[in-house]
A and B are shown apart, each in its own frame.
Chain A
């Protein structure tokens, strides 16, 4: 069974540009989460999808971040326009039920220069 996969693994963009990160959850997992770790700090929650609906987006830092999960399968996280402080590692995770174990992808390392 394939795990959670994220694309790309690395992205380097200039300040002001747009970047879109993609996450493919484990097949059949209705719950999809986005997290990020910036500047060596702890991983922090961004948002949670249940199928295509946003269950909780309280962790989204500002309106430059837009997450979608059309059709309840893969999800995208767009940053537009990117700022220097957006640099970090963005993780996606999925779980079958809301309160069961979450499986993480390998992360996308975003560098904004």
Chain B
């Protein structure tokens, strides 16, 4: 069964601190892995997209890693800001029937406090 598991479910950190969010997946055949940020009341916005051959990808203060062997990914946020408070969703794309189908994790809800 294609699944995406994220941890922790929620996280509270102080402004300026770093944090790492985890994603484990059992999706086959794997196409790519995406991290999305979803602010309250808004739709998900893409942060990074990584294919099988990519180990790391950065987008500003966000750095995603991918270990395709262990089927794990992480999203590291550096020097957190209040605006980083949001849900972070790991999405794995499965290549099915010639096109990609997105399988979503439940998300990690991050709260950054001053």
Chain A residues proximal to chain B, CB less than 8 Å:
4, 33, 35, 40-45, 48, 55-56, 91, 93, 98-99, 101-107
Contact = CB atoms under 8 A, between A and B. Distances in A.
B100 A45 contact: no
A99 B102 CA distance: 10
A99 B99 contact: yes
A99 B104 contact: no
Given A4-B43, A44-B104, A104-B44, 13 more contacts: A41-B106, A42-B107, A43-B104, A45-B102, A56-B99, A98-B98, A99-B31, A101-B49, A103-B46, A104-B36, A106-B42, A107-B41, A107-B43
Sorted nearest first, the 7 A-B pairs with minimum C-beta distance are A104-B43, A43-B104, A42-B106, A98-B99, A42-B104, A99-B100, A106-B43
Chain B residues touching A, majority SS: strand
Contacts of B31: 99
B4 A101 contact: no
A107 B49 CA distance: 22
B101 interface: yes
A76 B46 CA distance: 24
Nearest to B89: A43
A5 B42 CA distance: 11
Contacts of A98: 98-100
Nearest to B43: A104
